[in-house]
Amino acid sequence: MDKMWSGRFSAGASSLLDDFNASIMYDRKLYREDIEGSLAHAAMLAKQGILSAEELKAIEDGMAQVKSEIESGTFEWVISDEDLHMGIEKRLTALIGDAGKKLHTARSRNDQVAVDFRRYVLRKNEEITVLLKRLMETVVNIAAKHTTTLIPGMTHLQHAQPINFGFHMLAYASMFKRDIERFTESKKRNSVSPLGCAALAGTPHNVDREYTAEALGFDSVSINCLDTVSDRDFALEILFNISTMMMHISRLSEELVMWSSYEFGFVELSDEYSTGSSIMPQKKNPDVPELLRGKTGRVYGSLMGLLTVMKGLPLAYNKDTQEDKEGVFDSVETAEISLEILKEALKTMSIKTENMHRACKVGHLSATDLADYLVEYSGIPFREAHFITGKAVAKAEELQIDLSDIDFAELKAIDDRINENVMVFLAIDHSMEARTSQGGTASVRTLEQLVYFENYLKDLDL
Ligand code: ARG
């Protein structure tokens, strides 16, 4: 009968209940947030005359002791304490006596856990953003070196039009920029303090919520306590933001897997970030991007899990909500290591520019350029130009050459309106450089995009 809430009970809890009900095995990750929250709360209670100066001092000293016990590994986490909030309060009271019993005045575990978990998530929003920024810098640095490196641009995974590899990498920079914005905006939106909401309805004690909000680094105080104690939007947002980010990482990973195959041969991952086979001695496997692709699945699972936990909850706090933490912890840790390892794998991979170039000579990548040429220089309507180009492609296929290598005489035989200057337009580097429309692949346009992302990164306040 040592439970803090045991007053109205006559029998003790079964150990089965303890095992089932407890979150202390994993929510202890929040110990720093919990102790900081308690210290801010205690300081506010003292300022308001609810605690004496001596009591505050005792709480501060006791909490310092608890913190050092946790950090040195001597703190005893017991399952029957249920969660970290009660585990820490119990130890504090054992250390300092009555002052410890007063700490929970004007507070409930409902606002307490909302403070702790929210602050953890806000901090992780920022830490993930810093890692994202470094990954984005890596991507942009690779792009800077390859604004004239030709690579086949694809649709339907079929060769479509030549682009430069820098342009390709900047597509990922665009995605990572949106990810950074999402984490940043979510942090701003959710920087709202739950402390002082108590169980659900507020408290009759004369608390100063502005004071604790400021002490804990929140931008403001929540408006409606009933909402606040059961609001987990901040957790859903970080799960969604991580999911979207991992989806981007997974798309890039999929390309790395393909690019490092013999069939593509566009990149070679470094030995440091490749693995071997236990049976096939010749193998070098892209486990890193494969795992990044795979781990995306578990992050989506956490998002769906928490959305499902929340969907039928009546106001206000329900114990279901305790299921919010493990998925977030797992997703945050997955995100952190994923960002780190992808950055290193990219930094250390070698880029096989000749193979990329060779691939551009397969699949008649400049076919659209021939059609565009016929429209612009021969005055032929686009539909007809498309048809004539189809004939030219068929001829190249028959000759087993790429359209960019066809003889002028062959083209002239197909349509007499074609002039010799067409040959310039069939060259694949010309095809890439011709796409000068805003946001296009031409080197000048790629360089503009590069400057845009470099400036964005430079101005990022992180
Ligand atoms: N361990 C609980 C959680 O994570 C803390 C809040 C418990 N509140 C309550 N009234 N049982 O949600």
Mutational test site, ligand 1, from 84, 319, 324, 328, max ligand atoms within 8 Å of CB: 319
Print pLDDT tens along the chain (462 aa). Answer: 578 888 889 888 899 999 999 999 999 999 999 999 999 999 999 999 999 999 999 999 999 999 999 999 999 999 999 999 999 999 999 999 999 999 999 999 999 999 999 999 999 999 999 999 999 999 999 999 999 999 999 999 999 999 999 999 999 999 999 999 999 999 999 999 999 999 999 999 999 999 999 999 999 999 999 999 999 999 999 999 999 999 999 999 999 999 999 999 999 999 999 988 888 888 889 999 999 999 999 999 999 999 999 999 999 999 999 999 999 999 999 999 999 999 999 999 999 999 999 999 999 999 999 999 999 999 999 999 999 999 999 999 999 999 999 999 999 999 999 999 999 999 999 999 999 999 999 999 999 999 999 999 999 988
- Report the C-alpha dihedral over residues 368, 369, 374, 380, rounded to 10 degrees: 40
Please measure the distance between the N-terminal and C-terminal CA atoms of the chain and give it in whole angstroms: 50
pLDDT computed for residue 1 by the predictor? 54
CA angle 298, 304, 308 (to 5 degrees): 140
Our answer on whether the CB atom of 109 is closer than 6 Å to any ligand 1 atom is yes
Our answer on whether the CB atom of 23 is closer than 6 Å to any ligand 1 atom is yes
Q: Nearest CA to 183 among 133, 125, 130, 235?
A: 125
List the residue whose alpha carbon is closest to atom 4 of ligand 1: 322
Ligand 1 mean position to 194 CA, how many Å?
A: 14
Q: How far is it, in rounded angstroms, from Cα 29 to Cα 231?
A: 20
> What does 48-73 look like in DSSP terms, one character per residue?
TTSS-HHHHHHHHHHHHHHHHHHHHT
Ligand 1 mean position to 56 CA, how many Å?
A: 25
Ligand 1 mean position to 370 CA, how many Å?
A: 68
| Ligand 1 atom showing the smallest separation from residue 321 Cα | 12
Q: Are 226 and 201 in contact (CB under 8 A)?
A: yes
Q: Are 69 and 91 in contact (CB under 8 A)?
A: yes
Residues with a known catalytic role: 156, 277
Query: Burial level of 347, CB count in 10 A (0-12/13-18/19+)?
Result: middle
Our answer on whether the CB atom of 113 is closer than 6 Å to any ligand 1 atom is yes
The pTM for the full model equals 0.95
Ligand 1 mean position to 23 CA, how many Å?
A: 9
pLDDT in tens, 245-286: 999 999 999 999 999 999 999 999 999 999 888 888 888 899
pLDDT computed for residue 11 by the predictor? 84
What amino acid occupies position 49?
G
Mutational test site, ligand 1, from 38, 322, 323, 329, max ligand atoms within 8 Å of CB: 322
Our answer on whether the CB atom of 321 is closer than 6 Å to any ligand 1 atom is yes
Ligand 1 mean position to 228 CA, how many Å?
A: 14
| Ligand 1 atom showing the smallest separation from residue 84 Cα | 1
Q: Are 99 and 89 in contact (CB under 8 A)?
A: no
pLDDT computed for residue 275 by the predictor? 87
pLDDT computed for residue 2 by the predictor? 73
Ligand 1 mean position to 107 CA, how many Å?
A: 13
CA 440 to chain centre: 27
List the residue whose alpha carbon is closest to atom 1 of ligand 1: 83
How confident is the prediction for the chain on average, in pLDDT? Answer: 97
Our answer on whether the CB atom of 317 is closer than 6 Å to any ligand 1 atom is yes
Q: How far is it, in rounded angstroms, from Cα 266 to Cα 259?
A: 5
- Residue whose tokens read 């501060």: 60
pLDDT computed for residue 276 by the predictor? 86
Ligand 1 mean position to 159 CA, how many Å?
A: 55
Q: At what angle do helices 325-348 and 233-259 cross, to 10 degrees?
A: 30
pLDDT computed for residue 147 by the predictor? 98
Mutational test site, ligand 1, from 20, 83, 88, max ligand atoms within 8 Å of CB: 83
Mutational test site, ligand 1, from 77, 109, 118, 228, max ligand atoms within 8 Å of CB: 109
